[in-house]
Structure 1
Amino acid sequence: MKYVLLIYSNPDSWASLSAEQREGLARAHEDLSRELSEQGHLVSAAGLADPITSRTVSVRDDTTRTTDGPYAEAKEHLAGFYLVECDDIDQAIGYAARMPDAKYVAVEVRPVMDTSGLEM
């Protein structure tokens, strides 16, 4: 089953990291990505651009509305993701716990729905 590991961050936690900690975070992601790839679990992974560059789109009464920034009014923002193929959610949680971001804000583990229907 596929799981998306959603990496959350916030400007305060990022600003509080030293250059050495930021480099360590990047190395830890490289190492984990390599391991997941070698084990055949990594489907895709990417960091996301700063939330200030995002746009939120909604359609009401056939009118498209666009607003700057993320939809949620929160300190935390979605910073990146891994899409992994795991045997079960416990295995996905184990990988999420190894992400360095889990020490600073959070990593959400969410099953990916099968395209055949809404089985959740």
Structure 2
Amino acid sequence: MQYLLMIYSNESDWHQLTDAEREERVGAYRAYTESLRSADVVRGLNRLQHTNTATTVRLVDGKPHVLDGPYSDSKEQLAGYYLIDAPDLDAAIAWAARCPGASHGVMEVRPIWTIPCESPTGA
């Protein structure tokens, strides 16, 4: 089963780190990513740009209402994710606990509801 491991952290904390601390954190993520790849469980991953690049869209009276910025204003922001394939929730939680994001933020683990995609022609 696939799980999305979402990394929430306070993006302003990054600017308070020294160059050495940043390099250490980047190295920890590289090592974690390599461990996921070695175990052949990673299916996708990305780091997100800062929330000041976000755009929020919602329908108001059937018309798109577009706002600059993220949907919610909170202490921690969605910073990135790993999409993994794990046999069960316990295994997904174990992978989330190993993620460097767990030590400087919060990890949210969510099972993926797989929806088959077909081309418009049915092929």
TM-score, normalisation: structure 2: 0.86
Contact kept, 8 Å, 2:11 with 2:79, in 1: the verdict is no
Aligned-pair CA distance for 1:55: 0.2
Distance 1:21 1:94 in 2: 25
Q: Counterpart of 1:80? A: 80
Unaligned runs of 5+ in 1: none
Q: Aligned with 2:22: secondary structure?
A: helix
Moved >4 Å (runs of 4+):
none
Q: Counterpart of 1:67? A: 67
Q: Aligned with 1:35: secondary structure?
A: helix
Q: Counterpart of 1:7? A: 7
* Larger Rg, first or second structure (1 or 2): 2
Q: Aligned with 1:44: secondary structure?
A: strand
Q: CA RMSD in A?
A: 1.4
Q: Counterpart of 2:46? A: 46
Q: Deviations over 1:25-56 (max 9, x none)?
A: 11111111112112210000110000000000
Q: Counterpart of 2:55? A: 55
Contact kept, 8 Å, 2:57 with 2:64, in 1: the verdict is yes
| Residues paired across the two proteins, number | 116
Distance 1:99 1:18 in 2: 21
Report sequence identity in percent. Answer: 36
Q: Aligned with 1:3: secondary structure?
A: strand
Contact kept, 8 Å, 2:32 with 2:100, in 1: the verdict is no
Aligned-pair CA distance for 1:16: 3.6
Unaligned runs of 5+ in 2: 117-123
Contact kept, 8 Å, 2:45 with 2:81, in 1: the verdict is yes
Q: Deviations over 1:43-100 (max 9, x none)?
A: 0011000000000000122211100110012121100000000011111111111111
Distance 1:88 1:39 in 2: 15
Aligned-pair CA distance for 1:13: 3.0
Q: Counterpart of 2:35? A: 35
